[in-house]
Amino acid sequence: MDSSLYRWTQVAKKTSSQCLSESTPLLSSKKQKPTYNLNKQRVVFANNEKWEWDCKKSSRFYKGNKIRTTKYTLLSFLPKNLLEQFYRSANIYFVFLAVLNWIPLIEVFHKEITMVPLVIVLVVIALKDGIEDYKRYCFDRQINFTKTNIYSKHHKDFVEKCWKDVRVGDFIKLLGNEIIPADILLLYSSDQNGICHIETANLDGETNLKQRQVVKGFCNQGLQFDPESFRNTIVCEKPNNNLNKFKGYMEWDNGQKTGFGSESLLLRGCTVRNTEEAVGIVVYAGHETKAMLNNSGPRYKRSKIERQMNMNIFFCVGLLFVMCLIGALAHGIWSSRFVFVHPLFDVPTADGSYISPSLAGFYMFLTMIILLQILIPISLYVSIELVKLGQIYFIHNDLDLYDEEVDLSVQCRALNITEDLGQIQYIFSDKTGTLTENKMVFRRCTIIGNEYSHQENAKRLETYKEEESDDEDTGKLRNITLLNLDAGKESTVKHKGTRALRRCQSARPNIQGHYRKKSEGRFDISQVAFSSPIEKDVTPDHMLLAKVREASVKIGGLTQYKPQSNIKAQVASSPYIDFFLALAICNTVVVSTATEPRQRVIVPPLLKPSGTSLEKLQHLLQRIKLLTLSQSSSSSPASSDPGTPTSSKNNKVSPVPSSDKDNVSSSSSGETECQANGKEDPLVKRTSADNCLEEMIATVSSFHIEDDFCYEAESPDEAALVHAARAYSFTLMSRTPAQVTVRLPEGTLLTFELLYTLGFDSVRKRMSVVVRHPITREIIVYTKGADSVIMDLLDDPAKANISEEKKLRKTQARTQKHLDWYARDGLRTLCIAKKVLSEDDFEKWSNFREEAEAAIENREELLMETAQHLETNLSLLGATGIEDRLQDGVPDTIAALREAGINIWVLTGDKQETAINIAYSCQLLDQTDTVFTINTESKETCESILDCTLEDVKKVFPQKTRKGILKKHKTDISNELEYACPAVGLVIDGRTLNVVFQGGLELKFLELAKHCRSVLCCRATPLQKSMVVKLVRDKLNVMTLSIGDGANDVSMIQAADVGIGISGQEGMQAVMSSDFAISRFKHLKKLLLVHGHWCYKRLANMVIYFFYKNVVCFLFFYMFLLFINFSMPLCQKVQEQRCKRGSTLYV
């Protein structure tokens, strides 16, 4: 028995009462009083009449929805702020000095004056903190008083209340475009399929819509949801900050349990889209919501200068104590000389006695500390904070760091490490979306071992900037009013019609596509993620297009003229059809309208598509041309013959394809009838030409309206593949949780029953959909994923007969060869595969899948095992190559940073060949570099390779090393860098990194990496990225910077001394965890080399000036002590009798 099946069997044995239901998965039908572990679980009771008492009792332990992000209150501001300020040791030191000055015997200055500088410093910082906190208070108040609809058990209806009044267990009714006030479990949606779409732009920056599903068992409800009928108890996990993880179950009255997950949770801060009404119950409120748990605010870091400055201050304190001690000893020795006769300025105590020389020396020690306190600058911290605020202002307002396309400038999230930007020694960068644009463009594909290069598509990308200007002209054609056909009809066809009609087929998405406007901002609602013209436009390959049409013609009309057995045979033998069907439906793309507000397309158009093709449009044009020629020839005597030449010419020039005969026949009938009697009437000819023109414009118009969709994908890869399928006329028309509709090239609509969707995850590195084919009724699994995974899951060719085995092995070998080509060209590769399930196998797997979905414990592990059990013995269909183009200015930026002495490492999860090619493209690697590649899974082999490689590098470059390069004061750094950064590159994959970290080979790896100017880590996981950064930061004791744009880069960004997030197309999680946020990698050049240099140099010079100024004053006072024998002038009152006796005191 399979291991996963065995585990499922054991789970079934442990829960003997578990059974399956068509409506809800049941885990327990035994009626007994439930017990809960409140330390690990949260129990939610509904706020209705049935659970009123339980809800009130439990709500006392849960936080309300009122949020408070302020640090202080009116009562706590003063003590709390002072406590925070006295965390700085320098402030405590100055308070100590102020207290000393209040002691009469050692008083140096007036008591009040000594406290003025300290009070000013504390007040200025307190005012700054208070203003910032007041702004947070105003923002909190605005949010807390936002209105929402909460169910009231007294009114028996939803009433409008403030967000701050929401409690755990309340029922909330959400309307379209409303922001979600708390974390809500979805119980009802106005969508007939129980779907609610949300936009998470406020949470993670992603503008694409995400689907949320009503909890199982609540899908089949009436038109309205009745909260009083809710009799269930909700048990879920304790609050946590994982946005993508949520699990729990719902207990029914009869003891049955229904499991649910993150697919049913509406997160606070998201916006409801494409849904008229949704109702849910609050499970987390206020500061216990996932959004608030992730909102840690700006990070506090200590800069390198601040750490060094603290050391300098400790040194100054030590120096001060030593100098004061010397002065105190000298004063004690000098005082011991006056045993019998005391000088007039030696003031006795109240009883007339004099203090001993040792005690006088101690008092002098304390007095000198007060007098010479100027050695430690009290205003330094305040001055530094003010200077940093000015630096941040100038960085934020730098126009060179502003991206006009997305309307974003640099963001400074960490306010106190600006100077660290000028001290970076190592940069760790992600590849996708950081060095590249993250605009996935379909470039090439291979199907059953046949490669299609799409040369026309490559040429289109090379001349994309020119096509942008053409698109503007094409867009003007779309704005032509089609209602007024008589005005300017002939001129329109003559000047613009032909060109526009040609572009209808070659660049079809441009006719109806969504155009990105400049300066609108990345997060504008009108913009659709991953749908720029460069991503949507795909020019088909002529050879592949012919293959697709040939296969489409064979399938077209099978259901009407072929028996069922022939249908299955012919459809099964169409890998080209399966390949593009997989591209169209193996995803989670949401189809919505292009108009605002966007509405999800649930049902495809009622009218059957006409199958408009280039041949039909050409046929219409030729008919217009021939009718025009016929009309002109009829006006001359030489053309008064019955018109036979025209008719024959028409038949030769415009043959009608078989697939378009039905569509064109009705249009041609009018012309045939007009020509039946030989000579034609000129009025009839003109009418016929006008009718053809109207038909052509109507055809183009209907073609535009019908295909005017927006594809909202969760990743750019999905969008690129859907657009590619659409370019070959496999158009995704609609998607619901139960079915997905695709239009084939000949115009037939295929509606697949969507049985299961196994989403993509970073562990499996693939996704699958299980559908029932509408023609063959077969259950098919379509899978796409990384080639390193899919190729290992293919069915063993040895199981087939000899001829089939040879064919399969050849297909796999040729596909792998093409994948290597794509990787060398820098393309991202994905493999496409399928699998046909029998009814028995599917039913068996489906039962276990339902068991896993209903499981309470180990739910994620069971779901993972069911997916892995299904995705085996696959049949390879083909592979795709998707281009992710380099961002503008990346090569120049890397070259400039390298000239500045900064080492650049690239940590990516991509295929090794792809990453290497990108590294050459962005000049991270040069053609003259010696590149060492390490790929192994054995510790011994890895250690041996590291030793041999390090020895080879030292032989080639034995002269210099990198040690202390940035610390040396060299006049000619460029010559030093030639020796410090040898032309050596290192490439290592994720499996080898595991061996390095688990086998204790970190130091050897680091020793080798120090001699390389470029290091490339491929197939690296997020954890490995952070481990690499920490290794370099801690072992080499260098300043590190990490830059990335995705959620997989968060750990790497947080591990570095300076983290930079790129606000790209993969959301805002990287930005939210970063210290600085930019929109383009090229901005890193000025941010580091200009602003970083300025901030560090100016701040360092200011700190040095402060110490210099104070040391000069300190030495002035100390030199004065040499002339007064360390006696120190005293600021205290002398008695009247003493003044009379010692008249010299007047002097």
Q: What percent of the chain has pLDDT over 90?
A: 22
Coil, strand, or helix at residue 768? strand
| Interacting residues of 942 by C-beta distance below 8 A, sequence separation 6+ | 934, 936, 992, 995, 996, 999, 1001
Position 490 pLDDT exceeds 50: no
Amino acid 174: pLDDT: 94
In this predicted structure, the answer to whether residue 499 has a pLDDT above a threshold of 50 is no
| 253 known member of a binding site | no
- Spatial contact of 613 and 659, defined as CB atoms under 8 Å apart: yes
Nearest to 512 by CA among 743, 733, 709, 720: 709
Residue 400 is assigned to a ligand binding site: no
Which tens digits make up the pLDDT trace of 830-858? 999 999 999 999 999 999 998 888 776 78
Q: Is 398 annotated as a binding residue?
A: no
pLDDT at 981: 52
Q: Tokens for 786?
A: 């990384």
1049 is in an annotated binding site: yes
For residue 1144, pLDDT over 80 is answered with no
* Annotated binding-site residue? 280: no
The reported pLDDT for the residue numbered 160 is: 94
Residue 803: Cβ within 10 Å count: 8
SS3 call for 1040: strand
Strand boundaries in 433-553, DSSP class E: 436-447, 450-452
Is 649 known to sit in a ligand binding site? no
Has residue 141 got a pLDDT over 80?
yes
- pLDDT computed for residue 8 by the predictor: 46
- Confidence tier at 681 by pLDDT (50, 70, 90): very low
pLDDT at residue 605 is higher than 80 = no
Q: Is 444 annotated as a binding residue?
A: no
Q: pLDDT grade, residue 276 (50/70/90)?
A: confident
**Digit-coded pLDDT (tens) for 302-348:** 788 888 887 888 888 888 889 889 888 888 887 777 766 666 556 66
Mean pLDDT of 694-701: 45
794: β partners: 874
Asked if residue 866 belongs to a known ligand binding site, the reply is no
Q: Is 615 annotated as a binding residue?
A: no
Catalytic sites, residue numbers: 430
Q: Which residue has the higher pLDDT, 8 or 708?
A: 708
pLDDT of 262 higher than 60: yes
1039 within 8 A of 1025, measured Cβ to Cβ = no
- 844 marked ligand binding residue: no
What angle in degrees, to the nearest 10, is found between the helix axes of 111-144 and 89-100? 140
Sign of CA dihedral 812, 814, 820, 822: negative
CB within 8 A of 502, min separation 6: which ones? none
Q: Among 196-200, 202-206, 248-252, 666-670, whose mean pLDDT is lowest?
A: 666-670
The predicted pLDDT at position 435 comes to 86
Q: Highest-confidence range of 24-38, 410-424, 477-491, 1128-1142, by mean pLDDT?
A: 410-424
Give the 3-state DSSP-derived string for 729-749, with helices as H, strands as E and coil as C.
CCEEEEECCCEEEEECCCCCE
Contact 233, 169 (CB under 8 A): no
CATH 2.70.150.10 domain range(s) in the chain: 3-65+166-293
What is the pLDDT of the chain when averaged over all its residues? 75
Least confidently predicted of 58-72, 203-217, 623-637, 1105-1119: 623-637
**Which of these ranges, 199-208, 501-510, 709-718, 788-797, has the smallest mean pLDDT?**
501-510
> Which DSSP letter does residue 874 get?
B
CATH superfamily assigned to domain 438-464+503-611+707-881: Calcium-transporting ATPase, cytoplasmic domain N (3.40.1110.10)
DSSP string, 892-912: HHHHHHHHTT-EEEEE--S-H
Tell me which of 698 and 22 has the higher pLDDT: 698
Query: How big is the chain by its Cα radius of gyration, in Å?
Result: 39
pLDDT in tens, 196-231: 888 876 666 566 678 898 988 887 666 678 888 888
Percent of the chain residues topping a pLDDT of 70: 70
Segment 435-471, tens digit of pLDDT: 887 778 888 999 999 999 888 777 766 666 455 445 4
Most confident of 20-34, 171-185, 452-466: 171-185
User: CATH 3.40.50.1000 region(s) of the chain?
Assistant: 411-437+888-1094
| Domain spanning 3-65+166-293, CATH architecture | Distorted Sandwich (2.70)
1048 annotated ligand-binding residue: yes
Q: Is 70 exceeded by the pLDDT of residue 978?
A: no
Structure tokens that stand for 1116 in this block: 């002035």
Q: Is the pLDDT reported for residue 924 higher than 60?
A: yes
Domain with CATH 3.40.1110.10 in the chain: 438-464+503-611+707-881
Give the pLDDT confidence score for residue 95 in this predicted structure. 85
Cα separation, 815 vs 832, whole angstroms: 11
1019 is in an annotated binding site: yes
Omega before 597 cis (within 30°)?
yes
Q: Is 508 annotated as a binding residue?
A: no
| Class of residue 1045 by CB neighbours under 10 A (exposed 0-12, middle 13-18, buried 19+) | buried
Annotated binding-site residue? 718:
yes
What does CATH list as the number for 411-437+888-1094?
3.40.50.1000
Decide if 136 contacts 69 (C-beta within 8 A): yes
Per-residue pLDDT band at 680 (split at 50, 70, 90)? very low
